[in-house]
Structure 1
Amino acid sequence: MTWKRDAVIGLKGTTTVGVIFRDGVVIAADKRASAGTFIASKKAQKIYAIADRIVFTTSGLVADAQILVRWIQNHVRRLTIERERPPLVKEVANLTAILLHNYFRSLLPFQVHFIIAGLDTFGPHIFFLDHSGAVQEDKFMATGSGSPIAFGVLEAYYKESMVEEEAIRLVLRALRSAIRRDTATGDGIDLAVVTKEGIKFFKPSEIDAYLKDLDKVLAEG
């Protein structure tokens, strides 16, 4: 006998985007959480700090994401103390993958996808993890219902030589395209950058300024 998790209607997050640039990573997410066709929240948090230079983005069932994030945060803090060094991004990705896969094999999977992004001694990294614990590393990534739209923008305009300002404009362009075309994505944008200085979460006014700058750049061709 199996338990059909998709019969349970819960709050779900939607679209998140991340890219690597020359000196770090940029992550963005919309703020909408839906329950079926109902917009349940317009202020959903989907970007979380896991370590000094590592962040998660979440898409999927909000309750599952929150529980997993707390568990990983606590585990990473313990490992940092035991090993007396910051964790590698890949180590955090593998730790999360093991947890996800264990629950997947038990037929009670978490309904959540992650982007794990950050900077360590080997440089910037972005990993995608699905609900089964499968891990994929890439230069850019998108998750959630609006990800096909976001990927179209990322595939067309991503460059490995990008500096921070270019990377910010790209993730905002990709996410805003998803907001305009995907009804489950919307209600504003959260934005974070990870560099050797640490994690910076942007204020709404700063994001608005970048969006206005993006409009200007696109208008100029």
Structure 2
Amino acid sequence: MLSHATSCPVQAPVEHRFSPYTDNGGTTLAIAGDDFCVIAGDTRQSEGYNINTRYAPKVFQLSNGAVLATGGMYADAVTLMKRLEQRLEWYRHQHEKEMSCGALAQMLSTILYHKRFFPYYVWNTLGGLDEEGHGAVYSYDPVGNYEKHKWNCSGSAGHLIQPFLDNQIGFKHQLANATSLTIPQVLKITKDAFTSATERDIYTGDYLELFVVTKEGITKEKFELKKD
């Protein structure tokens, strides 16, 4: 029989958890036109209720005809970008030309799939011009599955903006017939979408960077968003 001094109450097991991942918020979108593509993303980087910085770009030009929007965990996004830039540099030295948007889309899928057992904690949207000169948007999951779209939105405000794009870009639930939109129209819709999203999503804000891909090249525009 145990004495009172040696007895002790039963303690519940303590579970220790560690996750190498974190979500730094933010939103990106891409819209493909007949002969252009618009890719945009906000610049706020946050964690929980803290804003780490108000300018951490999520959209990067990879070649003369392709732009990548990536978000989620910022450290993984930076690492993925370094790897992509290295592979693109090797391709330019070997082939003496820029990689096409379609080939880049497949390469990104392969890179993500190779990390499937410890994936990059990022969501990616690649936009540019395909081999026929038409706008193309490719969306990815973290392990490399991808699909070609005409428009796509991802991130913390993606569930707010995607239905808006379905209506304004895809003319869903409208009596009007679908028409081809111009670059100024798409830019206006994009700015309106982000301006509205910042009213509801605290992880999206500060600045909006917009890239427009055409056969003449890539142009960049910066637009101010809500900062509180």
Return the offset for 1:11: 6.1
Return the offset for 1:38: 1.2
1:125 counterpart residue number: 136
Shift >6 Å, 4+ stretches: none
Map of 1:69-84 to 2, 5 A cutoff?
69-84=81-96
2:160 counterpart residue number: 149
Query: Which whole-Å deviations, capped at 9, do the CAs of 1:113-162 have from their partners, x for residues lacking one?
Result: 11111124322211011111110110001110100111021011105611
Q: Distance in 1 between matches of 2:167 and 2:84?
A: 34
2:119 counterpart residue number: 109
**3-state SS, counterpart of residue 199 of structure 2:** helix
Q: Which amino acid aligns with 2:206?
A: D
- The 8 Å contact of residues 18 and 117 in structure 1, kept in 2 or not, is answered as yes
Map of 1:88-107 to 2, 5 A cutoff?
88-104=100-116, 106=117
The 10-residue stretch of structure 1 (57-66 or 29-38) with the greater mean CA deviation from structure 2? 29-38
1:134 counterpart residue number: 145
Q: Distance in 2 between matches of 1:36 and 1:153?
A: 26
1:28 counterpart residue number: 40
Map of 1:36-51 to 2, 5 A cutoff?
36-51=48-63
Q: Which has the larger radius of gyration?
A: 2
**3-state SS, counterpart of residue 86 of structure 2:** helix
Q: Distance in 1 between matches of 2:127 and 2:201?
A: 24
**3-state SS, counterpart of residue 168 of structure 1:** helix
**Number of paired residues?**
200
1:183 counterpart residue number: 202
- The 8 Å contact of residues 22 and 164 in structure 1, kept in 2 or not, is answered as no
Work out whether 1:201 is the aligned partner of 2:220.
yes
- The 8 Å contact of residues 42 and 209 in structure 2, kept in 1 or not, is answered as yes
Query: Which whole-Å deviations, capped at 9, do the CAs of 1:176-205 have from their partners, x for residues lacking one?
Result: 222121111111211110111111111x4x
The verdict on how the C-alpha distance between 1:118 and 1:167 changes in structure 2, with shifts beyond 3 A counting, is: same
- The 8 Å contact of residues 59 and 112 in structure 1, kept in 2 or not, is answered as yes
Instruction: Output the TM-score relative to the length of structure 1.
Output: 0.84
Q: Distance in 1 between matches of 2:40 and 2:191?
A: 7
- The 8 Å contact of residues 29 and 40 in structure 2, kept in 1 or not, is answered as yes
Q: Distance in 1 between matches of 2:83 and 2:69?
A: 15
Q: Distance in 1 between matches of 2:93 and 2:132?
A: 20
Q: Which runs of 5+ in 2 are unaligned?
A: 1-16, 171-178
The 10-residue stretch of structure 1 (151-160 or 79-88) with the greater mean CA deviation from structure 2? 79-88
Q: Which amino acid aligns with 1:77?
A: E
RMSD: 1.9
Return the offset for 1:10: 4.2
Q: Distance in 2 between matches of 1:173 and 1:73?
A: 32
Q: Distance in 1 between matches of 2:25 and 2:217?
A: 26
Q: Which runs of 5+ in 1 are unaligned?
A: 212-221
Q: Distance in 1 between matches of 2:145 and 2:180?
A: 28
1:215 counterpart residue number: none
- Give the % identical residues: 27
Return the offset for 1:9: 5.7
Q: Which amino acid aligns with 2:51?
A: I
The verdict on how the C-alpha distance between 1:153 and 1:74 changes in structure 2, with shifts beyond 3 A counting, is: same
2:5 counterpart residue number: none
